[in-house]
Amino acid sequence: MKKSSAARWPVYVALFLLVAFAVIFVVEFIGASENPVRSEPAANLSADTYLDIVTPLLVDADAQNGETLLTTYECVACHRAGAENGIAPAFVGIAERAATRRPPLTAAAYIYESILHPTAYIVEDFSGAMPQNYPERLSDRELGDIIAYLLTPDAH
């Protein structure tokens, strides 16, 4: 009896390790699938992946709240309509411009990228001054609302 239980301990160790690795794998997998693209460098994304992410964000998005969020997150400190301050492009006409900025990205995909991966494309005549911490600061809901607002023809 004693001999056989002692002989079994490598089996227990192996089982323990197997369970431990399985738990680590599941935790990592769930953690990563929570937000697969926020942490992804823009260079790894394609027009299709962008579309896959942006389309769900826009379902039920509230453009009016998006306009409010531009003030909450101080986007308008740099992106100022009327008084062009030279710091950032004004949002006037953004929906139209966004559609042709970076083909084959759609307007929504381009705006999404501009907010989360601002260095992927720097608008001509501007510096890369756009803050890079919006992936941590904005929730999916807020991001959807902002994009929806910027896609309206009267965004400013």
- Choose between 14 and 64: whose C-beta lies nearer to ligand HEC: 64
Q: Kindly state the smallest distance separating residue 12's Cβ from ligand HEC, in Å.
A: 53
Question: What is the nearest approach in angstroms of ligand HEC to the Cβ of residue 44?
Answer: 19
Closest separation in Å from C-beta 39 to ligand HEC? 18
Nearer to ligand HEC, 36 or 128 (CB): 128
144 touches 58 (CB < 8 A): yes
User: 89 or 144, CB closer to ligand HEC?
Assistant: 89
CB nearer to ligand HEC: give 4 or 139: 139
Instruction: Give CA 61 to chain center in angstroms.
Output: 15
Where along the sequence are the contacts to ligand HEC (CB under 6 A)? Answer: 73-75, 77-79, 87-89, 94, 97, 101, 111, 114-115, 118, 121-123, 126-131, 134, 146, 150
User: Shortest approach of ligand HEC to residue 100 CB, angstroms?
Assistant: 10
Minimum Å gap between C-beta 35 and ligand HEC is 17
As a whole number of angstroms, the distance between CA 88 and CA 85 comes to 7
Nearest CB to ligand HEC, comparing residues 8 and 137: 137
Cα 131 to Cα 73, 118, 119, distances in angstroms: 11, 8, 10
b/e for 8-38, b at 16 or more Cβ within 10 A? Answer: eeeeeeeeeeeeeeeeeeeeeeeeeeeeebe
What is the Cα–Cα distance from 54 to 78, expressed in whole angstroms?
24
| Cβ atoms < 10 Å from Cβ of 56 | 12
